[in-house]
Amino acid sequence: MIINQEKQKMAGNKTRDGFRIADVARSVSRLFGIIEVRNGDRHPFVLSYPGMFPCALACSTDVRRQISPWIAQVTGYSSNQVYQAIRSGRL
C-alpha cells in the first residue's frame, strides 16, 4: 500500500463521521492479501476486492454506511462487528 500524503492533505484528512482516512486505510490494509488499498484518481484511496465493485475512501465517505458493509461482504462478519473493529483499531 502506498500512501500519498500530499494527495490526502488536498482531499481532507477525516471521513464524514470523523475517522482519519489514513487510519482507516491502514486498518483495512492489515487484511493483506484479502483487500487491496490503492491510490485513486478522484479519491485518496480505493478499496478493491476481486469480483466486487471498488469502494472509495475519501472525506465524503461515511465509514458506518459505506466501508463497514463493503468489508462485511468480503469477510463474512457483520457490518457492526467490522465498524466496531475499525473504531477500536482492531481490524
pLDDT along the chain (91 residues), means of 10: 50 85 88 84 90 93 95 93 88 72
Cα distances (angstroms) measured from residue 80 to each of 7, 43, 53, 77, 88? 30, 25, 21, 8, 12
Per residue in 51-70, pLDDT (tens digit) is 999 999 999 999 999 999 99
Q: How far apart are the first and last CA of the chain?
A: 16
- Strands of the 55-57 sheet, one edge to the other: 36-39, 45-48, 55-57
pTM over 0.75: yes
Cα distances (angstroms) measured from residue 1 to each of 45, 53, 67, 80? 10, 19, 18, 25
Angle 23-25-27 (CA atoms, 0-180°, nearest 5)? 70
